Structure 1
Amino acid sequence: MLWIPFALFAALMQAWRNAFQKQLSQSVGATGVTLARFILAGPLAATYLWLLYRWQPQQALPDFSVPFAGYIVGAAFSQILATALMVRLFQLRNYAVGVGLAKSEAILAAALGVCFFGTSLTALGWLGVVLGGMAVWLLSGLHRASGTVSPMTLVFGLGSGLAFALTSLWVREASLLLALPFPFSAAWVLLLVIGLQTLLLVTWLGLRDPASLRGLLKRPTLTALVSLTSCLGSIGWFSAMSLESVALVKTLGQIEVLFTLMISAWYFRDRLARHDHLGLGLIVVAAICVMWA
């Protein structure tokens, strides 16, 4: 059951990261905001791995394989794409609607996991996934905005959810391939994925959009907050997904929408609607289902 606190911690960190990304997106382009997520996370991930080996110095180093490298590359590219699409969502719709569309990730991860990754879910697990999806639909305000959401918003939202789902599934597969105990396998995957993402984005922006790099340097505190919360959230997600199936982890992680609403009310001064109570109740029921599943 150790995956549960890791998933809850990751959801809280991700909610704050999204809030900081929303602020940063007002002055920096989508690719620059995406880089902010990873630019300082690499050293933090390396420090985390170093501390683990200081804690257990007798632990062996991993043996890498070609399939493992494929999962790392796939996860790195898909997470970059997912984050860029989410940033575009922030610029098209309000904060909660953008997050709600991207949270289609849990249902997509469940379907893809069962069809292509050998994942099996019990009836209770599927019930939790479906209830979690309904809760996100209510809490994010998608039901109120359904008649006004543009096709581009739907494409970006579902595309972001699909890319995040593939990222999670490939991260779990990479962790399972390493013959290392928890949490070392997750820490190695985290470091390699973040390192590759940082290298790719710095190279791309340096060649194509140096203005975005300069924009990040002008907002050092906000950039650091995005990177810190992103790295802490990734530690939580990667650790939880190395212990439990992606569908269950991400369904429990939908409590992020609750955290998002609280941040929206307190940090962005957004007003909450009465029907949010029903959505919150569904998230609680969904969480209980996946924990028992």
Structure 2
Amino acid sequence: MELWVVITIASAFLQNMRSVFQKHLKGQMGTTAATFVRFGFGVPFAILYLAILHLGLGHPLPVPNGAFFAWGVIGGLAQIGATFLLVHLFSFRNFAVGTAYSRTEPMQAALIAYLFLGERLNANDLVALCLSMAGVMLISVARTDISPRSLLESTFSRTARIGLLSGLLFGLSAVAYSSASGSLAAGLPARDAAMQAGFTLVYVILLQTAVMLGWLAWREPGEIRRIRSAWRVSLATGFVGATASFGWFTAMTLQQAALVRSLAQIEMVFTFASTALVFKERVNRLEVVGCALIVSGILLLFLL
């Protein structure tokens, strides 16, 4: 099994843990604060990771260029928006469905990469992505009477629009991070996916923390007190979030963003387990079928 595949599956598991913690925090603080926690409390872990690479293992630091800074800003701001919308979505639908809407990300990431970066996907890749997307859409109507009308209404409902926009922004951030990390290769003596990923993560997470902390201090100062009172869960959220990001950035340095994010659909398996075991929310038969379609798409992607 290729290294990027192992890294992506581990990152999907950690990302699901992060979402579990954020849903828990949503009951103690506002959406903006719960979004900030994912970035702000991940800063020390990101810096520690980069320090170990550079000072402990002797990896040279890359020399960033203009493309790196530009793609980092685009990816960082897009991820803030995507995470905010995902946390907000938890207020409307259960954990599994809320996460499922944002899983449209691989298709949207592939479209963005195709339109702006010239990346190409073969016919098997497209079939696999469409199969996974069909699973996501089935999940979205699993609690309604399935008909052309219900499918249309679910696709254009308020919750669907929020979820689809979240997926679009996650897709944009994935492509931007892949481009930012890849641009650092020219500043290194040899290809170093770990350093490229770690350096990109530190830059982006510092940017995100500064932007969100400034917003909270300006518009929602009371939320800062709530964040401090929930520091234990916040710290755990920051740790798993930063660790997942290490994985995403490394995987997207090794492989196309669209393929990494399509394999990341396996997160839905972890999501359903969390829905049933952690939040005690009911999962019906159609939601299980939708999850199976998503996993089938992933298997098709790698077996053909």
Residues 1:160 and 2:166 are matched in the alignment:
yes
Matched with 2:130 is 130
1:271–1:152 CA distance, 2 compared to 1 (3 A): closer
Matched with 2:295 is 284
| Distance in structure 2 (CA, Å) of the matches to 1:284 and 1:99 | 15
Check conservation: 1:106, 1:129, Cα contact below 8 A.
yes
| Distance in structure 2 (CA, Å) of the matches to 1:52 and 1:66 | 23
Matched with 1:151 is 157
Residues 1:223 and 2:248 are matched in the alignment:
no
Between stretches 150-159 and 223-232, larger displacement belongs to 150-159
Matches within 5 A, 1:1-293: 1-57=2-58, 59-138=59-138, 140-145=139-144, 146=150, 149=154, 151-179=157-185, 180=188, 181-292=192-303
CA-to-partner distance for each residue in 1:46-73, whole Å, 9 max, x for gaps? Answer: 111111124531x322111112111111
- Could you tell me which amino acid in structure 2 is paired with residue 279 of structure 1? G
Partner of 1:64, secondary structure, is: coil
Check conservation: 1:134, 1:282, Cα contact below 8 A.
yes
Which consecutive segments of 4 or more residues in structure 1 shift more than 6 A? Answer: none
How many angstroms does 1:267 deviate by? Answer: 0.5
Check conservation: 1:136, 1:257, Cα contact below 8 A.
no
| Distance in structure 2 (CA, Å) of the matches to 1:87 and 1:274 | 25
May I ask how many residue pairs the two structures share in their alignment?
291
Check conservation: 1:22, 1:87, Cα contact below 8 A.
yes
| Distance in structure 1 (CA, Å) of the matches to 2:297 and 2:287 | 15
| Distance in structure 2 (CA, Å) of the matches to 1:49 and 1:97 | 35
| Distance in structure 2 (CA, Å) of the matches to 1:27 and 1:277 | 30
- Could you tell me which amino acid in structure 2 is paired with residue 22 of structure 1? K
| Distance in structure 1 (CA, Å) of the matches to 2:43 and 2:288 | 38
Check conservation: 1:136, 1:254, Cα contact below 8 A.
no
| Distance in structure 2 (CA, Å) of the matches to 1:107 and 1:200 | 28
- Could you tell me which amino acid in structure 2 is paired with residue 161 of structure 1? G
TM-score by length of 2: 0.90
How many angstroms does 1:7 deviate by? Answer: 0.7
Q: Which runs of 5+ in 1 are unaligned?
A: none
| Distance in structure 2 (CA, Å) of the matches to 1:142 and 1:111 | 24
CA-to-partner distance for each residue in 1:114-138, whole Å, 9 max, x for gaps? Answer: 1111111111111221112122334
| Distance in structure 2 (CA, Å) of the matches to 1:144 and 1:272 | 10
How many angstroms does 1:276 deviate by? Answer: 4.5
How many angstroms does 1:228 deviate by? Answer: 1.4
Check conservation: 1:129, 1:248, Cα contact below 8 A.
no
How many angstroms does 1:144 deviate by? Answer: 2.9
CA-to-partner distance for each residue in 1:144-163, whole Å, 9 max, x for gaps? Answer: 35567573212211111111
| Distance in structure 1 (CA, Å) of the matches to 2:49 and 2:26 | 28
Q: Which runs of 5+ in 2 are unaligned?
A: 145-149
| Distance in structure 1 (CA, Å) of the matches to 2:60 and 2:242 | 24
TM-score by length of 1: 0.93
Check conservation: 2:62, 2:184, Cα contact below 8 A.
yes
Check conservation: 2:103, 2:265, Cα contact below 8 A.
yes
